[in-house]
Amino acid sequence: MANPFYLQEIPVDALFCNRIEELKELQSYAEARANVVIFSPRRYGKTSLVKRIQKNLSQKGAVTIFADFFGVASVDDVAARLAKAVFAVTHKNAPLWKKALRAIKSFRPVLKPEIDGTFTLSVEPSSIGTTGVNLLDETMGSLGEFIGSNRNLLVHIALDEFQEIVVLKEALKIEAVMRTNIQQHRASYFFIGSRRRVLLGIFNEQQRPFFQSAVNYPLKSLPADELEKFIIEQFRSGKIKCSPETARRLASVVKYHPYYSQKLGFFVFEIGGRVTEDSIDRALGKLLLSEKAVFEATTQGLTSQQRLLLHAIAMEPAKKILASSYIRKHGIGSIGGIQHALRLLEELDLVEKDGQTGCWNLVDPLFAVWLRSQTEEKII
């Protein structure tokens, strides 16, 4: 029996837990040609949700463009990714493809046949000499022309991990050029991102070009009862019995996290047999092991002070991190140093202050479990 849970990216037609309200709301924003900022911690399902929305929209005749800015290296790269996204979505539709070729003058598509009969698509800059912010301006202008050439169609553009543009040295100029162009486009843009502080800074700081130009849309974690039902249903489709109590346990171990519950379910299914507390515990061990490399890489990228602070918060989430008793107990250094480290950890979306309890906590519940396991050894 094939495993009904997904270790890799969930296909757009696979069973999806809940998000019915979000799908409806976001789809109507798109249809109203509104611009929306969608934010949440990593792996809450933003990308999968937007892909589903785009699938629905394109079934209704819209042109849906999806560009991912993750790891973007330069302004030219931003421009190239935008151009590529337009070619990628139009290449199967001759009239649209023609319009895209006519409108996008800054890049030309390169289609390379593969042995298996498929094609890979890349782009090459076509105009000689235009680079940097000018190239981006030209490409955004071309995109505007493409949108204008589809007057009767809805054009929806999703820019995933949009906050990544901020790491580029021309960030403010990029923001200005994009904003000026987008303002003239009769389309709906979704700006999606996980590093909430950085992303929201772009839209909510008064002196920035994108200030208040989009609807803020936080994507919450999944409701406990919906996730529980989803887990039971997934196991049932794989011919395995899972009681409501065990489903709840599975979901709560990973704090109802959309991705980790999917992945934990995957490992429990692999272990086989009925779902029990024991199989969940064993699967959790496998899950931690599979995430170890990511957690190690994340901690390695931090300074020792940031690492100490992260560790302290994982061990003991607290309201008053700057209290002398907390500082002494965890040996986390000077107040100035802690404040600085805290700001950076927040910017990286590693820690957050809970709006309700006022407690500082790790954003990623499994990362907290892993950090704690580094100091606590199980005594058998």
Dmax (CA) of the chain: 70
Q: How far is the CB of 165 from ligand ADP (least distance, A)?
A: 17
Name the CA dihedral angle for 233, 237, 238, 242, rounded to a multiple of 10 degrees: 30
| 37 and 217 Cβ atoms separated by less than 8 Å | yes
How many Å separate Cα 326 from the centre of its chain? Answer: 33
Query: Of 117, 95, 103, whose CA–CA distance to 146 is shortest?
Result: 103
Q: Which option in Mg ion, ligand ADP, none does residue 262 bind, with CB closer than 5 to 8 A by kind?
A: ligand ADP
| For Mg ion, the closer CB: 82 or 253 | 82
Query: Of 78, 60, 59, whose CA–CA distance to 69 is shortest?
Result: 78
| For ligand ADP, the closer CB: 135 or 251 | 251
Q: How far is the CB of 260 from ligand ADP (least distance, A)?
A: 8
Residue 217, beta-bridge partner list: 38
Q: Which option in Mg ion, ligand ADP, none does residue 16 bind, with CB closer than 5 to 8 A by kind?
A: ligand ADP
| For ligand ADP, the closer CB: 222 or 350 | 222
Interface with Mg ion (CB under 5 A), residue from 35, 40, 47, 261: 47
The single-letter code of the amino acid at 360 is W
Q: How far is the CB of 67 from Mg ion (least distance, A)?
A: 12
Q: Which residue is nearest to ligand ADP (CB)?
A: 45
**Sign of the CA dihedral running 140, 146, 150, 155:** negative
Strand-pair category, 188-193 with 107-113? unpaired
Q: How far is the CB of 293 from ligand ADP (least distance, A)?
A: 17
Binding mask 2-41 for Mg ion (x = CB under 5 A): ----------------------------------------
Q: Which option in Mg ion, ligand ADP, none does residue 42 bind, with CB closer than 5 to 8 A by kind?
A: ligand ADP
What residues from 133 to 172 belong to the interface with ligand ADP (CB under 6 A)?
Answer: none
Number of chain residues interacting with ligand ADP (CB under 6 A):
20
| 326 and 248 Cβ atoms separated by less than 8 Å | no
Binding mask 225-264 for ligand ADP (x = CB under 6 A): ---------------------------------xx--x--
**Secondary structure of residue 347 in the 3-state scheme:** helix
From residue 114, give the alpha-carbon distance in Å to each of 89, 117, 179.
19, 6, 38
Binding mask 26-55 for ligand ADP (x = CB under 6 A): --------------x-xxxxxxx-------
Q: How far is the CB of 40 from ligand ADP (least distance, A)?
A: 6
Query: By CB under 5 A, which span of 44-52, 87-95, 140-148, 174-182 interacts with Mg ion?
Result: 44-52
Q: Which option in ligand ADP, Mg ion, none does residue 17 bind, with CB closer than 5 to 8 A by kind?
A: ligand ADP
> What is the crossing angle of helices 75-90 and 132-148, to 10°?
20
Q: Which option in ligand ADP, Mg ion, none does residue 54 bind, with CB closer than 5 to 8 A by kind?
A: none
Q: How far is the CB of 93 from ligand ADP (least distance, A)?
A: 26
| 175 and 202 Cβ atoms separated by less than 8 Å | yes
Q: Which option in Mg ion, ligand ADP, none does residue 74 bind, with CB closer than 5 to 8 A by kind?
A: none
Q: DSSP H helical segments within the chain, as ranges? A: 20-31, 46-59, 75-90, 94-103, 132-148, 171-184, 196-204, 224-237, 244-253, 258-271, 277-300, 304-315, 324-330, 335-347, 365-375
Interface ranges with Mg ion (CB under 5 A): 47
Interface ranges with ligand ADP (CB under 6 A): 6, 9-10, 16-19, 40, 42-48, 194, 222, 258-259, 262
